[in-house]
Structure 1
Amino acid sequence: MTGELTVDIRDIGELTPEDRAQWSAWQAADPDLDSPYFRVEFAEIAARIGFGCKLAIFRRDGVPAGYFPYQRRGGTVLPIAAPMNDYHGVIGPRDIRPSLYETAYLLDGARFSVNGWVGLAPGITPNESFRTTIPDEGGYDAWYAGRRAAYGKYFKDKERARRSMETEFGEVQVRMGVRDPVMLDELIRLKSEQYRRTNRHDIFACGWTRELLHALMAADHPDFGASMAVLTAGGQVAAIEYSLHAGKRYHFWFPAYVPSLARCSPGILLSMETIRMGSEQGYRDFDYGFGGEAYKRYFCDTVQPVAEATVFRHGLSETMGRAAASLMSLAGEERGRRLRQSVRRRWNVIEACEPTATGRLRGVAQAASAALAKANGRAKTAS
């Protein structure tokens, strides 16, 4: 892509009505930018809650070429609201908006890190995000019939799990569009317990991430918002999922379930009912985001390429590399590669969440230790 590329940095609160209209028009014109994370409303709410947030406005040969909302953590540039941002990229015309590398260069951070970049990313093997697409003709019933034909055993097992839950606990009910702050706090509590149980960084411990979910849920915007779906059995909460939605896209975001009911697959049952009920409300794309959880293949029939990358300024080495190098070398080549990837992802989450250097250092030490323990556990199992 040629042409002189320049950037103007502003506060997101300085967006003019013309900027907002242009942003929304570019976003609506490109199906790759359908996700609620690309909406101007998401960036504005995130900027009010977060810190270090800015807006890059690009021009190519003087022609407006796109907007990119971002945040800084020390010398690192991250997408706005990271790690609470599953998709990111420059919102602009596809033929002139900056690539990943152009964006990284112009924002001039020591490090530019993304995990769900949508847009041009030369030389990077893309990952995949996963979606369920409901056809206009036949709706949910047609979609479910196709899934059940392809994966009969799996869906029969889930149907049986629902019957078992009703027999043991009482009637299963699902509500969508729940915007109860107390229920959201319960979901956050369940997620925090899950993070600790699985040795992952608790993204809600830093505080501002909780505030963001509450602010998004409380926002009053046409065609954009956040809410929860709740599954109860015999009147007792069994599973909750917080989702972001805009237009016809419904993005599953934070699922949680009561661990004692895991045998009944309450989270899967909630997703199935959310798709059914949501399709009746006009949603057509149910987005599971980037990630390789095995259950997604049973539900998803559409994928979107996204790039995961960390770009360093010339001459700089990975800040974590030296601290973890000796641990990784002990793991062997293949295990070392997996360990590096795991630690890098954990570090990205920690860096994005934690506002202080002390918090980041403490978090990365815990992450490296947990990743090495996990790699050693796999090795023992394999042997």
Structure 2
Amino acid sequence: MSGFRLVSFDSLTEADLAHWQEIRTGESRWDSPYFSASYVAAVHAGRPVSVLLGDGFVWPLHISGSSARPAGSPGADFQGPVLAPGVRFSPRALLRAAGVKSLTFDHLVDEYVDLEPWIEERRPSPFMDVTDGLEGYLGRAAKSGRDKMSEARRLTNKAGRDLGTVEFVAASTEHLDQVIALKREQYASTGARDHFADPVQRELLHRLLDSGLGLLSTVHAGPHLLAAHFGIRSGDVLHWWFPAFDRKFGPLSPGWILLREVVMAAPELGITRIDLGRGEDDYKRRAMTGSSTVCIGAITSGARTTLRRVSRKAISAAKASPIAPQLKAIVRKFR
């Protein structure tokens, strides 16, 4: 491939955007909403995005000083350049064109031949095939997934008896701030980093909802919000992004009640796949019907390459250590 050019997202021409869409339309590999110009536009409104363009090549990035990350990081669950079939590129030339010394990724879609030397780890990213809704899903799901869906049906009935009529709204325009608050409570209770401590991330969800790319689904029992989910969709793909539930209703498994409702509504919504995102959460393991692979690593130059590889080996060794759980507990205590 010939050279790259770097432009601000808001300097893209109609021809550039048409080129981007043409590549996406021609290859199902880019069907995730994270690869859409609409998602990147919403991100750019809060954090500047620069786009590396080439012949059959589009990669939106955040550039800060001498480093770069894919647009939407750290919240983007699928990353990488959008490529036309057969396009090859030089990673080092990419760094030079962006004016950086490193480009770090943590959810890179697998099978970029030219980025293979820069990949340090691979992780599964589960998905649910929900073609034909709940009936179709149950025919493909493992026993653990079928059992949880059956349990969710029983608990939905219980919630109706104990709390009031259960009402599911597939595409709501209300309660987003309440969902964010519930998610922040979850982060605090588990010691996880609070993604929404940054107002930029909260504002992004509102822009996505207003643009129609965001999908907010809720389930109430009487006056009580049991659970909600905010995701993004493109075509027939929904990305399961920020599920949240009220912890006092935990015994009702509200997350599974909501997931079952979304799967049942999938045909009406025109959704055939729900991407659950990278992670080893128990519900993902149970609900999945398959998985793709995402990669962690960085394109670097000079001494940075050696330093990252040494650091990554040290981190992997620490995670494998018998005292790893105690170390995690100490870190959480002093946060």
Q: Same fold (TM over 0.5)?
A: yes
Q: Does 1:23 align with 2:20?
A: yes
Give the match for residue 61 of structure 2: 70
Q: Does 1:200 align with 2:192?
A: yes
Which among 64, 74, 77 is matched to residue 83 of structure 1? 74
Give the match for residue 39 of structure 1: 36
Which among 276, 290, 295 is matched to residue 302 of structure 1? 290
The amino acid that maps onto 2:227 is A
Q: Does 1:252 align with 2:243?
A: no
SS at match of 2:260: helix
Give 1:12 deviation, angstroms. Answer: 0.6
Which among 311, 321, 324 is matched to residue 335 of structure 1? 321
Give 1:147 deviation, angstroms. Answer: 3.0
Q: Does 1:189 align with 2:177?
A: no
Q: Deviations over 1:234-287 (max 9, x none)?
A: 221111100101111111111110011111110111011011112223211111
Aligned equivalents of 2:319, 2:196: Cα separation in 1: 34
The amino acid that maps onto 1:115 is D
Over 3 Å counting, the alpha-carbon distance change for 1:173 and 1:72 in structure 2 is same
The amino acid that maps onto 1:85 is A
Give 1:130 deviation, angstroms. Answer: 1.6
Over 3 Å counting, the alpha-carbon distance change for 1:196 and 1:228 in structure 2 is same
Q: Does 1:155 align with 2:149?
A: yes
Aligned equivalents of 1:40, 1:74: Cα separation in 2: 24
Q: Which has the higher contact order (CA 8 A, sep 6+)?
A: 2
Over 3 Å counting, the alpha-carbon distance change for 1:204 and 1:73 in structure 2 is farther
Aligned equivalents of 1:102, 1:338: Cα separation in 2: 39
Aligned equivalents of 2:135, 2:90: Cα separation in 1: 40
Q: Does 1:116 align with 2:112?
A: no
Give the match for residue 127 of structure 1: 123
Over 3 Å counting, the alpha-carbon distance change for 1:149 and 1:87 in structure 2 is closer
Aligned equivalents of 2:229, 2:60: Cα separation in 1: 26
Give the match for residue 161 of structure 2: 167
Give the match for residue 357 of structure 1: none
Give the alignment of 1:274-289 within 5 angstroms: 274-289=262-277
The TM-score with structure 2 as length reference comes to: 0.86
Give the alignment of 1:313-328 within 5 angstroms: 313-316=301-304, 317-318=307-308
Aligned equivalents of 1:17, 1:236: Cα separation in 2: 46
Give 1:150 deviation, angstroms. Answer: 6.3
Over 3 Å counting, the alpha-carbon distance change for 1:98 and 1:260 in structure 2 is farther
Structure 1 unmatched runs, 5+: 59-63, 340-368, 377-383
Q: Does 1:56 align with 2:44?
A: no
**What's the % identity of the aligned pairs?**
21
Over 3 Å counting, the alpha-carbon distance change for 1:187 and 1:101 in structure 2 is farther
Give the match for residue 61 of structure 1: none
Aligned equivalents of 2:98, 2:322: Cα separation in 1: 31
Q: Deviations over 1:165-221 (max 9, x none)?
A: 2222122211011122xx11111111112112222221211211111111111115x
Over 3 Å counting, the alpha-carbon distance change for 1:99 and 1:35 in structure 2 is farther
The amino acid that maps onto 2:210 is A
The TM-score with structure 1 as length reference comes to: 0.76
Of 282-291 and 26-35, the range deviating more from structure 2:
282-291
The amino acid that maps onto 1:130 is P
Q: Deviations over 1:122-150 (max 9, x none)?
A: 15453221211133xx5431322443756
Give 1:164 deviation, angstroms. Answer: 2.4
Give the alignment of 1:188-267 within 5 angstroms: 188-219=180-211, 225-267=213-255
